[in-house]
Amino acid sequence: MNFKPVRVVSTALLALLVLSLVLPLAIPSSAQVKEITIGALYPLSGDLASFGKANVEALKIALEDVNKWFEQNGYPWRFKLEIRDSETKPETAKSLFRTLHTAGIRYFLGPMSSGELKEVIAEVKAGAKAVVISPSSTSPALALEDTIYRFPPPDDFQGKVLNMLFQKDGVTHVIIVYRNDDWGKGLADFVELYSKDFKITIVDKIPYDPKAPTFGPIVETVRTKIRGLGVDLSKVAINLIAFEEGVGFLTEASKIEELGKVKWYGSDGTALSAELLKDPVASTFAAKVVWKNTITFAATDIAVRVYWTVKDRVGYSPDPYSFISYDCLWVLALAIAYAGGPENVDKVAEAVWKVLETYEGASGKITLNKYGDRAGSDYAIFAPVTIAGKVEWRMVELYDFGKNTIVKVEKDPFAEKPATLPTTLPKFSPPPKPTPTPTPTPTPAPGVSPALIAVIVIVIVAVAAIAYYILRR
């Protein structure tokens, strides 16, 4: 056999194979899709674990909807969530934010509690450029003009709604027991502030340490104060401002007869608490006293879909902050698109306001005040009720923000699952699509198209392969 032709043909074949691999890289392609990572700092453990788990599921629903819409409408971005457990601890939220920010992430959803968000705000103020949207932080102390947005209304609204509820229910004297952190103290202060407008007497405000709550002595203090009032028990109320650790307070209170005869109120920190329903003693007591909890609310078609989809996944009723979490991701994604991409953080922060001019989502229309916080909303009043021997959460009343009044709810809009869930998406003005940057391309020889060149290459490779096979024989 003559090895020289074989060697020549082999070299030619190798060159052609390399050429066939390189040519596609040299041919200009359409705009590349870019994946943008968003940090999600949510409490999957700790005092808000059931809230965090439900909200994360709502985020996953939003992620699927957002990416599908961006793909169908030809936008060159897709989004990915980097979910981290903040443990309902401010120091953990701070550490996670630092880690993800160092890794290059500039856009964040969460944290849920005001104590956690306070630490993230400190990082941003110290120079960590980022856009952050919280679905549930409500402490008025965090109202700042920055790149931090909060899509629920601050607690000055909730303080007013609680006092309206006290007055409507014939309450004249209230003892507040509150979680001693930024959120708990802030809400307790606003309940006290608005009490003057509604002629409600705040008997006392009793704090407890959320890191090591000891409720027995506090319950005894509350009983002593109630006995000293000399007021009809039907006119006395306990306002428990807590996260899910507050279930322990209800368990202790259930042991004292007088505390079962006063009226009971909570807040958004315990509304729809899954932990309450797991405790037979606390839940039975809560249903007996009709423990009313206030929380921002909307009953849109999207909210119905999110509610039932999340409930099927986690096994319990999600809180309305899940609807806001759904909206948070949509608004952030649209703001990035309005800004022409994620590169300019300040531009994205400004674009949030642009998106909200037309956006209507799961939690309805979102109007912000100058601090980037929601400027008001309806509030649902949820209470545990006994149905067929089982305690369940039900919406019993509604604060109508537009009419500034509380009305009775004849039927909880989420009590029964629809036969077919709505498929509605949020309403908004689509962002302008980015203009592709022209890429200079080599000019092919006159009369020869790139497609023809590709065909020629394939034919040559095939011929060379056949020749090689023949010469090897």
pLDDT per residue as tens digits for the range 167-187: 999 999 999 999 999 999 999
- Residue 456 binned pLDDT confidence (cut-offs 50, 70, 90): low
Q: What is the pLDDT of residues 358-413, one digit of tens each?
A: 999 999 999 999 999 999 999 999 999 999 999 999 999 999 999 999 999 999 99
Q: Is the pLDDT of residue 254 over 60?
A: yes
* Helix (H), strand (E), coil (C) string for 275-341: HHHHCHHHHHHHHHCCCEEEEEECCCHHHHHHHHHHHHHHCCCCCCHHHHHHHHHHHHHHHHHHCCC
Distance of CA 217 to the CA centre of its chain: 36
Question: What pLDDT does 13 receive?
Answer: 41
Question: Do 381 and 165 form a contact (C-beta atoms < 8 A)?
Answer: yes
- pLDDT on residue 454: 53
Alpha-helical regions (H) of 126-258: 155-168, 182-195, 215-229, 247-253
DSSP one-letter code for 268: T
Nearest to 384 by CA among 278, 305, 460: 278
Instruction: Give strand pairing partners of 42.
Output: 85
Which residue, 428, 300, 296, 306, is CA-closest to 375?
A: 296
Triad 178, 181, 183: Cα angle to 5°: 80
Across all residues in the chain, what is the average pLDDT? Answer: 90
Q: How many CB atoms lie within 10 A of CB 158?
A: 24
Whole-angstrom distance, CA of residue 332 vs CA of residue 133:
8
> Between these two residues, 313 and 458, which has the higher pLDDT value?
313
Output the six-digit token pair for 258. 């007088």
- Residues contacting 2, CB < 8 A, separation 6+: 471
What is residue 435's predicted lDDT score, i.e. its pLDDT?
Answer: 78
Q: Contact, 366 vs 151, CB < 8 A?
A: yes
Give residue 290's pLDDT band: very low, low, confident or very high (50, 70, 90). very high
| Residue keyed to tokens 């990572």 | 37
User: In angstroms, rounded to a whole number, what is the distance separating the alpha carbons of residues 183 and 47?
Assistant: 13
pLDDT (average), residues 2-31:
43
Residue 437 has pLDDT above 60, yes or no: no
pLDDT at 466: 54
Whether the per-residue pLDDT at 198 is higher than 90: the answer is: yes
Pairwise CA distance, residues 123 & 14, whole Å: 56
Over range 202-222, report the average pLDDT: 97
Mean pLDDT calculated for residue range 34-57: 98
- DSSP for residue 431: P
> What is the mean predicted confidence (pLDDT) over 70-76?
98
Which strand (E) or helix (H) includes residue 3?
Answer: helix 3-26
Residue 185 corresponds to which tokens in the numbers above?
Answer: 């103290």
The whole-angstrom separation of Cα 363 and Cα 371 is 19
Max CA distance (Å), the chain: 117
pLDDT, tens only, 309-368: 999 999 999 999 999 999 999 999 999 999 999 999 999 999 999 999 999 999 999 999
The DSSP secondary-structure symbol of 460 reads H
CA dihedral 328, 313, 316, 93 (to 10 degrees): -40
CA distances from 132 to 12, 111, 126, 144, 147 (A): 58, 9, 15, 13, 7
Q: Record the pTM.
A: 0.85
Report helix, strand or coil for 269.
coil
Residue of 70, 108, 111 whose CA lies nearest to 91: 111
Mean of the pLDDT values across residues 107-134? 98
For 5-24, what is the mean pLDDT?
Answer: 43
C-alpha 322/C-alpha 136 separation (Å) is: 9
Query: Does 105 score more than 90 pLDDT?
Result: yes
Of the candidates 135, 266, 246, the one whose C-alpha atom is nearest the C-alpha of residue 188 is 266
Report the percent of the chain where pLDDT is more than 90: 85
Specify the amino acid at residue 51: F
What is the structure's pLDDT at 19? 41
43-46: long-range pairs with CB below 8 Å, 24+: 43/85, 43/86, 43/87, 43/88, 43/111, 43/112, 43/113, 43/116, 44/83, 44/85, 44/86, 44/87, 45/85, 45/87, 45/88, 46/86, 46/87, 46/88, 46/89
Residues 6+ apart with CB under 8 A from 127: none
**Which 8-state DSSP code applies to residue 101?**
H
